[in-house]
Structure 1
């Protein structure tokens, strides 16, 4: 009787379970996790089971395989946007709804919260027909949703001038290898083929058939974190990224815009202990496809961050390991450092998936461009004195420099995924932060170029401050606001500075102490050092900077970064002219708010910048020109070569023209010109625009050369000066006083040139000035040969 009863129960249970099965899901491959899904191999469809409506989760799209072009910018592992979403039933459909997280009412009053929810638009990302319904569970076909171009590949190709592309469904499919279910996340991967008419060279250079571009896009459904995460108030002095939203339940006498830091969740097991392990450490995993010796360098550099966590009382709270072989880099459970290949060198960057409700970082994802290390090796190769004179394997010092840079790069990009912004003032504080862009510290010792201490090792003092502000776990009863203020006040007392992106950029930035790729507390002193190193390395440069059997064409490639070695310190030094010193000060902190850079420093900076317009400084020595014959077949010029106007031959005059144009774009930037007028008006004793213009003309047009070659180099420079003066005179975005002063300078210059009318160059310049005054509004600066890619590519910066 008992055995029969048990058998009856089992039969009933099986019958009940079967009754709960969806008809469409029978005989389909089933995967259970955060969501249960079914795969139909016969139709290549995925069905999703939805059992909870109106329950929020996180949706993230990304690229699991990319295109491989830095210029197009669609990399393997590239994250898209994260979105809080939920399913809502509407008739015979389930809508995937994205609520508006920017506008909220944090209140116990449900009607108040509803008033804000209804005031601002939400987004319905997709509508799914309900295939079946069983006891409050719904089965929907999500295949078409997954097959969308959510990452915007087609739009990116179009906006980059590469052609019009759209998804070809006949050549697209579910990628089962990377489609998996876990308790806290479900990962879907699809192969998408884009069909179109290629129009640009970038897409042709990286695809076997540019008419058909196949990538993989990834979709992640992720459980949102619990409510135990505690937000931390943002402070502009802290070095962290702000996470913000508008809270319409805020009292009128308080700011409606709320700002908090973005950070990982980290707590001490024992907050009262001076040193404690973390409840759950932050672990980053290095791409297991990274080769040695790069792998070891990246692991070492990444682990530097644990020094900062130890300084605030954590033990082993930050760890870096190698990603398990069976793990997916896009799996939301792993913070990842990914090694990314492209056809040209390009930017590395640190991204993250954050909870849009709180700013909590759920997944850090670093993308490191694999060709960066080769550029650093090339710079070391150019700076070395005849490295391959005796043997072709004498490159350990060059490799050491490149690996030292890659360690710093690993720490830098991880820092972004920990929630930290750039600190471009750190180079004035004895390399106080890995969040700066470091230029190698190269110097002359006993007349020899030394780069044994090119890059710093370990975390910086400023980095310890940012970690302390964002991640300190205070004992119960601590006044957190006061404790955080104390951290920043102490940093200020130590002389640590923090200035980030918008103030440090070479063209738009105005801070005299925050720059990209610079060194030294005094930019002009370091520029003098850089120019001395450059001159010495150029004088040493020979055929022994390449290996035996390599074509002379490669000498030009090695020489290019050496010739333009001064470019970034010139950028930094130019920013001192008309620059300011200021902090992200708050009321009561006692910091300097804003002040003009001292006149003496501006004058010294101007002197340094003008040196880069001297023919004897920027001309390639005549005895080096035989090293650069026309390119050998199979070794064409690239975007990283020195461009010219003489066809297949090497053009030393164009090299000088390009270098001069770089300096003049910086020195005569319209915003800088207006700032010089402004600072002279506020302080008549300061350096003004007229003085800068006078010194510029004196240093170029009045700098006569006897040597025929140097004379022509100087003429090339002078023409660039003339063009940039005319452009500034006609610029309508500057203060009118700028136009007036530059017009005055042009008229004086024309008169001087007119007096030398027997000189063909002077006569040509007079003709061009007269033509300019016929229609100044039509004038554009003639293009100079483009400067080779730089930091690490182009002139714009990301991370």
Structure 2
């Protein structure tokens, strides 16, 4: 994933940053006013840590003193969590990095002030007054102030402890945002860890123990806290020297392009020429310089090195090193020899030291997302540190999915089948390591790369599943190996050495043209995550060049896996209630490909590009609508997934599902049940129907569908979609007797359909004419139900459904619609 803490845009300063003086004067004077006392008097007996900013450790009193020698010169400040909460839902992970800020010290009277600069608005001008005009137009923020304890030769000593004892990482806000209650730092149970303070030539590392007092009633803190009313974590504060800005012949920032495949850092520059945009964007990337700039392939002055957490066990550790190392080949192709490598973190090294790029193996109470943060100097986009967080439970989820598909624990199962599950999970872990490191190298998601098979590790990969010649589930090649063609392109585009100015711009344009010609598609987060997103290629977790063929392929795998589902999916030592948790990924196997099918409905392709590339014929402007025939096939596939034949569980599954054993309980990985502890086939049906309808009946999708039909009558419209949906659910003929519980299953799905359709009218997101078409479809359904009352259980539901529709259309406030049918989590896989 893209880093959870986006780096704020910072000032592109013209001046070089001066070093902070080191050391303390040996001279002493008698005590006087704080600003007149000498440094030696205040720091006597304390442990000295000379560096970027001199630090004195006062372990006796639990204080950290700083000596500030240069005022009003910016540096970078960032927080992190060496010890954290362990809850994926709250999102406070071990080694998590916070927001990077640019700050400086100011002196006013007898105090020093730490000021955060407002760096979203700048003037990169040689004119001091022009720069000042922008600086004075926007507010800075004072983060802290402290009394000056001593001054000597323009150096000022302050006790920085109160800064370290404040919540600088936003822990309390994160807890409140997760609805865990109001927490605040309890100073009586918090401490500055003076013995952990370190100073180096370019960075200072300071740490504190913070205890947060709160109500302790939230589910997530109760799950992970030793005492949920008293949460103790460690906060690291890193103070980092800004990199020197290069002269014209050195390493330069690279202008961001939407088709680069990378991240950008940006700010508003009011000093740009009047005809130019003030919105300036730089490409985010590590500083990488050839030792021989004239050579096509050269070694580099300083390689990019990533270190793997020593806490990762084998075989995980080796998989992480192997997968993260895949990027080396792309750097080699881009002309950088031995420029990138991955190693095990040396023993004793502080993994939170901001000088190291680290891949951290993080434990949480539940499975959750992994992510990579690129901490940058946003004046130029230069990456200062890569910080990767990999959740340890994801690999176990992959094993669970594989075991549920293979049923490897039966007496007749081949001896190596269980090993296949672990092999698949490690293959996924290699890809995950490469993916998250990619973010810290400056690379964005590309969810369209799955159209090219193993097109990019920056896509989210669904395991490639198929049936072999014997009709058995085959996952031997579930995940790709190595980086793909898109990855080679983005490394070359973002890091390649092409000179400067017009020469560089021409080379990059040629790269973009070549990538387009090779069919390298690109679609990222903003066009992929919304349920109603329109780009048919920008889909998370899909695979294959043909969405509909992959849907059918996965459907065959799902059917086979349900037919063979048994107690053989569980190792002998596991409690029998876990069968239902393993049913979830099998029953919902097509959930991600279903989203891909929905993208074809009201879908349209478009390019990330610039006006210049469009004019040059490199890319196209506008939206290219999905062909009508393809849209109709997609509608047919998804509406079929709401029929009892698809949603009903076979007897071999129903007959083995068992409530959790004593000492265990249901959790979020199970389906909801309204039958106490017993598995609820009707709630399972509702979850399956809700999964499909959430994408099919998105308001934005219906609005696009209506507009496409208005422009071209050959395209399907909203009435056609709703007619097919209702024909296959409420208006369908009797369900075959061969479908177990078929009538009850279909009625459960029907009610989800009805409330979903009516719920569209209350969203306020439909255009009025589209809402009119939805309303008319509901009216026609009510009339049909009244004319076709049916028999038995079906008759009762039809009668109530007709009344339900009439009452809702007359007075929506008088009818409570059901919504938000719980679907067990799928991602991340």
TM-score band by shorter chain is over 0.9
Q: Which residue does 1:511 correspond to in 2?
A: 535
1:68 aligns with 2:86: yes
Q: CA deviation at 1:326?
A: 1.4
Q: Which residue does 1:292 correspond to in 2?
A: 314
Q: Give the counterpart of 2:377 among 342, 350, 355.
A: 355
1:615 aligns with 2:644: yes
C-alpha distance in 2, partners of 1:311/1:473? 12
Q: CA deviation at 1:206?
A: 0.4
Q: Which residue does 2:166 correspond to in 1?
A: 148
Q: Give the counterpart of 1:487 among 511, 515, 521.
A: 511
Task: List aligned pairs for 1:665-704, cutoff 5 A.
Answer: 665-701=694-730, 702-704=732-734
Q: Deviations over 1:610-647 (max 9, x none)?
A: 22112111211023211112221112111101112111
Q: Which residue does 1:5 correspond to in 2?
A: none
C-alpha distance in 1, partners of 2:707/2:817? 25
Contact 2:62 2:193 in 1 (8 A): no
1:451 aligns with 2:475: yes
Q: Give the counterpart of 2:804 among 755, 758, 768.
A: 768
User: Aligned to 1:33, what secondary structure does the other structure show?
Assistant: coil
After TM superposition, the runs of 4+ consecutive aligned structure 1 residues lying more than 6 A away are none
Q: Which residue does 2:276 correspond to in 1?
A: 254
Contact 2:804 2:815 in 1 (8 A): no
Q: Which residue does 1:194 correspond to in 2?
A: 212
Q: Give the counterpart of 1:717 among 740, 749, 769.
A: 749
Q: Deviations over 1:627-678 (max 9, x none)?
A: 1122211121111011121112111121111100111111011111111111
Gaps spanning 5+ residues in structure 2: where?
1-22, 30-37
Q: Deviations over 1:668-727 (max 9, x none)?
A: 111111111111111121111111111111122214303261111111111111111111
Q: Which residue does 1:8 correspond to in 2?
A: none
User: Aligned to 1:434, what secondary structure does the other structure show?
Assistant: coil
- Mark the CA change 1:143 to 1:16 in structure 2 (over 3 Å): closer, same or farther: closer
Q: Which residue does 1:7 correspond to in 2?
A: none
Q: Which residue does 1:738 correspond to in 2?
A: 770
Q: Deviations over 1:13-34 (max 9, x none)?
A: 9995567643121011221111
TM-score w.r.t. structure 1 length?
Answer: 0.95
Q: Which residue does 2:632 correspond to in 1?
A: 603
Q: Which residue does 2:202 correspond to in 1?
A: 184
Q: Which residue does 2:785 correspond to in 1?
A: 753
TM-score w.r.t. structure 2 length?
Answer: 0.92
1:645 aligns with 2:674: yes
Q: Which residue does 2:826 correspond to in 1?
A: 790
Q: CA deviation at 1:81?
A: 1.0
Contact 1:65 1:216 in 2 (8 A): yes
Query: RMSD across aligned C-alpha pairs, in angstroms?
Result: 1.8
1:413 aligns with 2:440: no
- Mark the CA change 1:30 to 1:752 in structure 2 (over 3 Å): closer, same or farther: same
Q: CA deviation at 1:42?
A: 2.8
Q: CA deviation at 1:777?
A: 4.7
Q: Give the counterpart of 1:592 among 620, 634, 641.
A: 620
Q: Give the counterpart of 1:205 among 223, 241, 259.
A: 223
C-alpha distance in 2, partners of 1:14/1:123? 30
C-alpha distance in 2, partners of 1:705/1:254? 65
C-alpha distance in 2, partners of 1:14/1:53? 17
Q: CA deviation at 1:476?
A: 7.3
User: Aligned to 1:163, what secondary structure does the other structure show?
Assistant: coil
Q: Deviations over 1:239-276 (max 9, x none)?
A: 11121111111111111111110111011111211211
User: Aligned to 2:281, what secondary structure does the other structure show?
Assistant: strand
C-alpha distance in 2, partners of 1:138/1:167? 28
Q: Which residue does 1:433 correspond to in 2?
A: 456
Contact 1:57 1:86 in 2 (8 A): yes
Q: Give the counterpart of 1:377 among 399, 420, 427.
A: 399
Contact 1:22 1:139 in 2 (8 A): no
Q: Which residue does 1:223 correspond to in 2?
A: 241
C-alpha distance in 2, partners of 1:122/1:560? 51
User: Aligned to 2:136, what secondary structure does the other structure show?
Assistant: helix
Contact 2:216 2:227 in 1 (8 A): no
- Mark the CA change 1:381 to 1:754 in structure 2 (over 3 Å): closer, same or farther: same
Q: CA deviation at 1:179?
A: 2.2
Q: Which residue does 1:706 correspond to in 2?
A: 736
User: Aligned to 1:22, what secondary structure does the other structure show?
Assistant: helix
1:658 aligns with 2:687: yes
1:167 aligns with 2:196: no
Contact 1:386 1:540 in 2 (8 A): no
- Name the stretch that deviates more: 534-543 or 18-27: 18-27
Q: Give the counterpart of 1:398 among 415, 421, 427.
A: 421
Q: Give the counterpart of 1:117 among 135, 149, 152.
A: 135
C-alpha distance in 1, partners of 2:502/2:806? 73
Q: Which residue does 2:465 correspond to in 1?
A: 442
Q: CA deviation at 1:354?
A: 0.8
C-alpha distance in 2, partners of 1:500/1:678? 25
Q: Deviations over 1:29-66 (max 9, x none)?
A: 22111111112233211111111112221111111111
Contact 2:208 2:235 in 1 (8 A): yes
C-alpha distance in 1, partners of 2:191/2:347? 25
- Mark the CA change 1:271 to 1:785 in structure 2 (over 3 Å): closer, same or farther: same
C-alpha distance in 2, partners of 1:631/1:249? 66
- Mark the CA change 1:294 to 1:177 in structure 2 (over 3 Å): closer, same or farther: farther
Gaps spanning 5+ residues in structure 1: where?
1-12, 794-799
Q: CA deviation at 1:566?
A: 1.0
C-alpha distance in 2, partners of 1:682/1:586? 27
- Name the stretch that deviates more: 460-469 or 588-597: 588-597
Q: CA deviation at 1:512?
A: 1.3
Task: List aligned pairs for 1:486-565, cutoff 5 A.
Answer: 486-565=510-589
Q: Give the counterpart of 2:124 among 92, 106, 123.
A: 106
Q: Give the counterpart of 1:329 among 348, 351, 362.
A: 351
C-alpha distance in 2, partners of 1:711/1:526? 29
Contact 1:232 1:260 in 2 (8 A): yes
C-alpha distance in 2, partners of 1:14/1:240? 45
Contact 2:454 2:484 in 1 (8 A): yes
- Mark the CA change 1:784 to 1:57 in structure 2 (over 3 Å): closer, same or farther: closer
Q: Deviations over 1:533-590 (max 9, x none)?
A: 0110111111111122433212112211111111111011111100111111323242
Q: Which residue does 1:3 correspond to in 2?
A: none
Q: Give the counterpart of 1:27 among 41, 45, 53.
A: 45
Contact 1:640 1:788 in 2 (8 A): yes
- Mark the CA change 1:506 to 1:571 in structure 2 (over 3 Å): closer, same or farther: farther
User: Aligned to 2:350, what secondary structure does the other structure show?
Assistant: coil
C-alpha distance in 1, partners of 2:95/2:814? 46
User: Aligned to 2:655, what secondary structure does the other structure show?
Assistant: helix
